[in-house]
């Protein structure tokens, strides 16, 4: 009985402040053995400082203002901890600042394991690394919320094992997304940045796909967006032939080719297969067996480029075309794109069935009603993506 009583008396102490514990609550000076204990210790604004170390912790956070900061940037690592089957940090609302941490090896049953799972509220991520996980940052929807990511790294993230893809960053119907001075590299599937936010800024960042595998777009905005994408560096992985690009605008001085055979290897990343489907066996053989480069005009004639313009006009032409597409009803654009991409490798009957189902769904949208009405009334439509 004495042993049982002693054990019972010790239980509350496990959840109380502990001297020398790694999670320091800045407002009170108290230290805790686990991140969730530190979060639960205060109901108002909260700042938690994390000592150097590797932790299996996770936490669900629902306070007005939350800051999680490494005592020394890059030395506090959250390794695989998961709460609610979602991710290491599950943020329920308010405003959060995540500063100087590492999130790694996050995996869950539905393959959407994220370092940060943002359900509502604003998020600011600074000098933080996400690596070797299913997703770096995954959000739900919050049209009033804003996300700022700066000086951070996303490496070894994403996947599309059965057509259901995860991404380095996936932002749902959020108010705005800003990414600055960050690095994306070595993706393992999906997109590096996928955003449905209507406002976006991606500037002064690098996207290095040279060690990527099964990756798709560097930046995907399926609903379109307004904003700025500028000052970034994009490095395409070997063997990637832009098979999934919507439209390819080529400058007259551009060169196309598959030179891998000249260094003793062969095109990978579907380079031998999708190229053959795009241009036919004989033209594909010409490119992959000789390793020769061809001009933009030749590439256009083969169907590898949508349009050829003077070199100085490539970016203005692409921006003008993208701006025109962005003005169109976003649901119709997305479903049209998906029907073409999914149908290109499917049997004709299956592709036509997908097309019919997509058309039926579009007939039920508000944008369809607006588009038809605007056409009959001879006015400009105002699409809402609904």
**pLDDT in the model for residue 5:** 36
Yes or no: domain 242-311 corresponds to CATH 3.90.226.20:
yes
CA end-to-end span of the chain? 66
331, 367 contact by CB (below 8 A):
yes
The active-site residue, picked from 26, 201, 252, 260, is 260
Which residue's entry shows tokens 């299956």? 350
- Reported for 38-43, long-range contacts at CB under 8 A and 24+ positions apart, including other chains, are 39/63, 39/66, 41/17
**pLDDT in the model for residue 7:** 34
Check residue 242 and report its DSSP letter: -
377 belongs to the catalytic site: no
pTM comes to 0.68
Yes or no: domain 328-377 corresponds to CATH 1.10.12:
yes
Please report, in tens digits, the pLDDT of each residue of the chain (386 residues total): 444 333 333 333 334 566 689 999 999 999 999 999 999 998 789 999 999 999 999 999 999 999 999 999 999 999 999 999 999 999 999 999 999 999 999 999 999 999 999 999 999 999 999 999 999 999 999 999 999 999 999 999 999 887 778 999 999 999 999 999 999 999 998 899 999 999 999 999 999 988 888 787 889 888 878 888 888 888 776 545 455 566 777 788 888 888 888 888 887 666 788 788 888 899 889 988 998 898 989 988 988 888 999 988 888 888 888 888 888 888 888 888 878 877 777 888 888 998 998 999 999 999 999 999 999 999 999 998 88
84 belongs to the catalytic site: no
Continuous H helices in the chain: 2-14, 35-40, 273-279, 281-290, 296-302, 314-326, 330-343, 348-362, 366-377
Angle between helices 348-362 and 330-343 (to 10 degrees): 170
**pLDDT in the model for residue 2:** 42
Please name every residue paired with 139 in a beta bridge, in sequence order, or none if there are none: 118
**At 354, is the secondary structure helix, strand, or coil?**
helix
Strands 53-55 and 23-25 come out as: unpaired
Q: From edge to edge, which strands make up the β-sheet containing 233-235?
A: 53-55, 76-79, 101-104, 129-133, 153-157, 183-185, 206-208, 233-235
């Amino acid at each position: 009985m004495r042993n049982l009583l002693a054990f019972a008396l010790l239980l509350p102490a496990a959840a109380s402040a502990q001297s020398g514990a790694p999670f320091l609550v800045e407002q009170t000076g108290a230290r805790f053995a686990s991140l969730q204990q530190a979060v639960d210790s205060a109901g108002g604004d909260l700042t938690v400082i994390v000592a150097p170390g590797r932790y299996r912790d996770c936490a669900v956070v629902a306070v007005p203002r939350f800051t999680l900061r490494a005592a020394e940037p890059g030395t506090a690592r959250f390794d695989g901890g998961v709460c609610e089957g979602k991710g290491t940090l599950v943020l329920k609302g308010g405003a959060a600042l995540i500063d100087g941490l590492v999130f790694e090896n996050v995996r869950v049953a539905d393959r959407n394991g994220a370092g940060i799972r943002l359900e509502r509220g604003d998020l600011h991520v600074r000098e933080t690394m996400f690596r070797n996980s299913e997703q770096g940052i995954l959000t739900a929807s919050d049209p009033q919320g804003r996300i700022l990511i700066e000086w951070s790294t996303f490496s070894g993230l994403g996947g599309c094992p059965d057509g259901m893809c995860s991404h380095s960053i996936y932002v749902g119907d959020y108010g705005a997304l800003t990414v600055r001075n960050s690095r994306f590299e070595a993706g393992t599937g999906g997109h590096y940045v996928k955003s449905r936010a209507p406002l976006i800024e991606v500037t002064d960042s690098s996207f290095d796909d040279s060690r990527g595998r099964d990756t798709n777009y560097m930046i995907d905005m399926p609903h379109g967006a307004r904003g700025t994408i500028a000052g970034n560096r994009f490095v395409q992985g070997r063997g990637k032939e832009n098979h999934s690009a919507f439209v390819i605008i080529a400058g007259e001085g551009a060169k196309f080719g598959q030179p891998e055979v000249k260094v003793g290897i062969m095109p990978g990343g579907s380079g031998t297969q999708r190229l053959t489907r795009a241009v036919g066996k004989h033209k594909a053989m010409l490119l992959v067996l000789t390793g020769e480069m061809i001009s933009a005009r030749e590439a256009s004639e083969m169907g590898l480029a949508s349009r050829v313009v003077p070199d100085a006009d490539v970016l203005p032409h692409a921006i003008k075309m993208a701006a025109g597409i962005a003005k169109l009803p976003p649901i119709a654009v997305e479903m049209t794109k998906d029907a073409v991409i999914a149908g290109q490798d499917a049997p004709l009957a299956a592709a036509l069935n997908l097309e019919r189902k997509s058309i039926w769904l579009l007939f039920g949208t508000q944008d369809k009603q607006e588009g038809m009405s605007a056409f009959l009334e001879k006015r400009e439509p105002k699409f809402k993506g609904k």
